[in-house]
A = this chain, B = another copy of it.
Amino acid sequence: MANQTLVRHVNERRLLAALRLEGPQPRAALARRLSLTRAAISDMVEDLLSRGLVVEIVSARTRGRRDVGRPGIDLGLRADGAFFLGAEIGVGVLRLALSDLAGTIVDTRSLPLGPADGPARVVALMAESLVQFGARAAYRGRIRAVGVTVPGLVRRDGHVVNLPILGWRDVPLARLLAEALAVPVHLANNANAAAFGHIHLKARAPGEVSVYLKLGTGCGGAVIDGDRLVRGADGLGTEFGHIPIAPSGPACHCGQSGCLETFVNIRALQRYFAHEEVDEQEADLTLPARVAERAAAGDPAARGAIETIAQHLLQGLVIITNIFNPSEIILGGAMLPILPALAETLEDRLANRIVPGMTRPRIVVSRLGPFECAIGAAAMAHHEEFDLSNVDLAG
């Protein structure tokens, strides 16, 4: 597609992005912002108003550049003009998050998954949930796209290669979901999706690079270079958990040894903590919070455990940072409670170990909470449907 409809397509996405990232503004401001004429903006806005994606905010009128002249009528995104359903397929749980056009999370829910529930069951649950959400008056018929994440490797074509944690193998999940739900489906690895959740609501400087690390039972990663995900040829790129950081460390389930993931995960945190015996299930859920609490209270064992994690993680971060030269590193995942302590200690130590001349990356902690991946999946769907980087010129 490279005819004049491409131009409208591109400009529409630019306009919606401007409203989302910079807030309401009148037509004239949009024209300046997008280097288009007021007439062109008027034409587009008329269309977007009729499609229910933007609204005129009649109460607020914005003065022009020099505080003189006729005031303009602010235009804003109509938050309920479109919705995006995000889903995280996790161990024992299917988490759903519904976001609106403004990026606000308007609804969430968790559904239990049994150990025997396979792809068919998940697809059925998703279809059911989509219908239920879609039936509510507030969202009726305006769920535009669905994003889905899985805890493992997804090829570019939406084929799930292997999910050892769920016991799934060779599942054409994108196809199954696209057939069951009647809306566009976007599938990704959970870390990749979560990364979108973090960049979604902020304007990005040209060339900005964000690295996201998901620290939980494993150690996943994602990189967003500018506005595009770094995926790799098979879609298996940025699996930071399998960076070798020790010549001969413990064996990893991937078949190698010394992987970052074997040193940095909740089970390992438990080993380093070694304070009391807890059963595994409980450890996964509550250990990070307890370690964080004890560390704050001054417990040397807890502080030592966090420090051990920090030392190993630092090795990975040095490699990742020197390779990607990121502007920010976002830490998320189930280790959330200890992440603030980690971020604090790591930022300076990392700054001392990067190539001379490189700007030190900010290290920030996720604020998306336990629905991080589902929220990211919704953001990813939003991104695919409405952002500029997905316009395909070559097609």
Contacts and interface: CB of A to CB of B under 8 A. Distances in A.
B10 A325 contact: no
A233 B246 CA distance: 28
Contacts of A1: 35
Interface in A217-253: 225, 228, 230-240, 242-244, 246-247
B237 A324 contact: yes
A7 interface: yes
Contacts of A323: 237-240, 243, 320, 323
A298 interface: no
Contact of A355 (B36, B209, B242, B246): B242
Contacts of A207: 156, 231, 233, 235
Nearest to A327: B233
Interface of A: 1-4, 6-7, 10-11, 14, 34-36, 153, 156, 161-162, 207-209, 225, 228, 230-240, 242-244, 246-247, 254-256, 315, 318-320, 322-327, 353, 355-359, 361, 388, 391, 393-395
20 contacts: A2-B11, A14-B394, A207-B231, A207-B235, A208-B233, A209-B232, A225-B225, A225-B231, A232-B325, A232-B358, A233-B326, A234-B358, A236-B358, A237-B324, A238-B323, A242-B322, A244-B315, A244-B318, A254-B355, A255-B356
A269 B246 CA distance: 24
A232 to B, nearest CB: 3
B230 A225 contact: yes
Closest 3 CB pairs between A and B?
Answer: A232-B325, A233-B327, A237-B325
B394 A388 contact: yes
A319 B359 contact: no
A72 B350 CA distance: 62
A395 B35 contact: yes
A14 B393 CA distance: 9
A236 B321 CA distance: 10
A162 B357 contact: yes
A339 to B, nearest CB: 22
Contacts of A156: 207
Given A357-B162, A394-B388, A325 B2 contact: no
B326 A36 contact: no
A50 to B, nearest CB: 21
Nearest to A156: B207
Contact of A14 (B2, B3, B34): B2
The residue in A2, A10, A35, A318 that gathers the most chain B C-beta atoms within 10 A of its C-beta is: A2
Contacts of A324: 230, 232, 237-238
Nearest to A225: B230
A327 to B, nearest CB: 4
